[in-house]
Amino acid sequence: MILKKLILVIGLSILSFAADATVEIVKKIDVLPKIAVQDASASTVSPELRRAFAQLLIGDLRVSSHFRVDEEYLKSSYEGGPIENFLSDRKVDTILRFDLSQNLNNMTVKAKMINAKTGTTTVERSYALNDVKRHPFLAHKIVVDVNDQIGAPSIKWMEQSVVFAKYTDAKKSEIVVSDYTLSYQKTVVAGGLNIFPKWANDEQSAFYYTSYAGAEPTIYKYDLKDGSRRNIISSSGMIVCSDVSKDGRKLLLTMAPKDQTDIYMYDLITKKIQKITNYSGIDVNGNFIDDDKRIVFVSDRLGYANVFAQGINDSNVEQMVYHGKNNNSASALDNYIVYSSREDKSEFGRNTFNLYLISTKTDYIRQLTMSGENLYPRFAKDPDTIMFIKQYQNQSALGIVRLNANKTYHFTLKTGKLQSIDW
């Protein structure tokens, strides 16, 4: 009886832990399946492209945190044989085999999963691409499908595009569209200071950004389909598009029409501007929450930067974070808020910024990073994955935190310093 009760308590604990991302699961009981990747492409295809593609698949499988990955680059025929279909010496459970072919700018990939215990193909698919430079997205798509095949929690976020701004010199920055590993990069806005890009819609066909090219800082909308840009709104002092409503119609702006930063909501259809916060200090970084009825934002109204919330039509302000003395950047998704916190308020202290995760439903605080400068956290569309900026001495990287697996990955930017990211 006591044993039964104990098992029940443990069972309930595991269930509640699984439901709260702020609680770190230290010990995993499940054994993850081991997977190997085999390249079955014809020898006429560029060896560099084949190897790079295999490495992308291996990297994605690792970041999914749902496999143990054999990291060796293996070759095979597409049909395989008694050795290739089992890989007995490598003790794998599953094989992902691909056959890549390229014709000018077109690329096709045949991919199949093989059960290495039985040597039989469990699923096979073909993929096509008309711009070979975008092949990292194809690799991500294949791994998303492989992951779905084993019934693991979705990693569809890998298919999302990232848009980021990077400083190239004083008062100069560029806006780049990339995949989450930075393997694909395309500069879309250059010349002068262009900052704070923010996707305009779920489709990721357009983004807003701030340009300093005119007399006043101005938000433009850039359309990726035709490369056009449209002037949206300007403000003296500063203007940033911090968030876009779910229906894409309303923007949360930080702007300072009277030299004073506050958060405003701008309706793109009626052109109506509504002032949401009203404080003589700093209010920035608005994020829609609760079905776009409330916002979380960063303010120095207690004498230091911290995270607060209030209704769109309600001026009552609620303090959301009771930890840290300099919480200067936040992002929200459902009931979760992730923020970066400077660990020492003194300029002589360590320049350490760590990321923390809280739930609005519980009192837990989970520390996500341990050292260095970890800034600008942004949720993926699922609450299990957070992207952030990691600054080193003279280099930047995109960081990915996988919450359930408690793992962090970094993808280094070769040139420039990351200013902001969205995905």
Partner 1 sequence: MGKLALTSLAVAVLVLTGCSQKSPEVDMTKKDVTSSTKTDDGMSALQKLIASLEANSKKVYFDFDKYNIRKDQQANVDANAALFNSAEAKQFSIKVEGNCDEFGTDEYNYALGLKRAKSVKDGLVAKGMVADRVTVVSYGESNPTCNDKNKECWDKNRRAEFKVLP
Interface positions with partner 1 (CB under 8 A): 167, 170-173, 186-196, 211-213, 216-217, 222, 224, 226-229, 236-238, 240, 242, 254, 256, 259-261, 281-285, 298, 300, 305, 326, 328-329, 340, 342, 345-348, 351, 353, 373, 375-376, 389, 391, 393, 418-420
d(CA 37, CA 53): 10
**386 contacts 401 by C-beta, under 8 angstroms:** yes
Closer of 41 and 340 to partner 1 (Cβ): 340
Find the shortest distance in angstroms from Cβ 356 to partner 1. 15
Find the shortest distance in angstroms from Cβ 220 to partner 1. 8
Closer of 364 and 392 to partner 1 (Cβ): 392
**385 contacts 156 by C-beta, under 8 angstroms:** no
Find the shortest distance in angstroms from Cβ 360 to partner 1. 21
Closer of 38 and 329 to partner 1 (Cβ): 329
d(CA 196, CA 68): 37
Find the shortest distance in angstroms from Cβ 17 to partner 1. 31
Closer of 242 and 354 to partner 1 (Cβ): 242
Q: For 335, what's the count of Cα atoms within 13 Å in the CB-facing half-sphere? A: 10
Find the shortest distance in angstroms from Cβ 238 to partner 1. 5
**352 contacts 343 by C-beta, under 8 angstroms:** yes
Find the shortest distance in angstroms from Cβ 254 to partner 1. 5
Placement of tokens 């003194």 in the chain: 346
What is the SS3 assignment for 13? helix
Closer of 109 and 305 to partner 1 (Cβ): 305
Closer of 208 and 222 to partner 1 (Cβ): 222
**DSSP H or E run through 177:** strand 172-178
What is the SS3 assignment for 310? strand
Closer of 63 and 239 to partner 1 (Cβ): 239
Burial of 17 (0-12, 13-18, 19+ CB in 10 A): middle
CA–CA distances in Å: residue 133 to residues 49, 50, 53, 99: 10, 13, 11, 17
Closest by alpha carbon to 263, among 312, 228, 305, 226? 312
Closest by alpha carbon to 250, among 258, 262, 242? 242
Closer of 261 and 359 to partner 1 (Cβ): 261
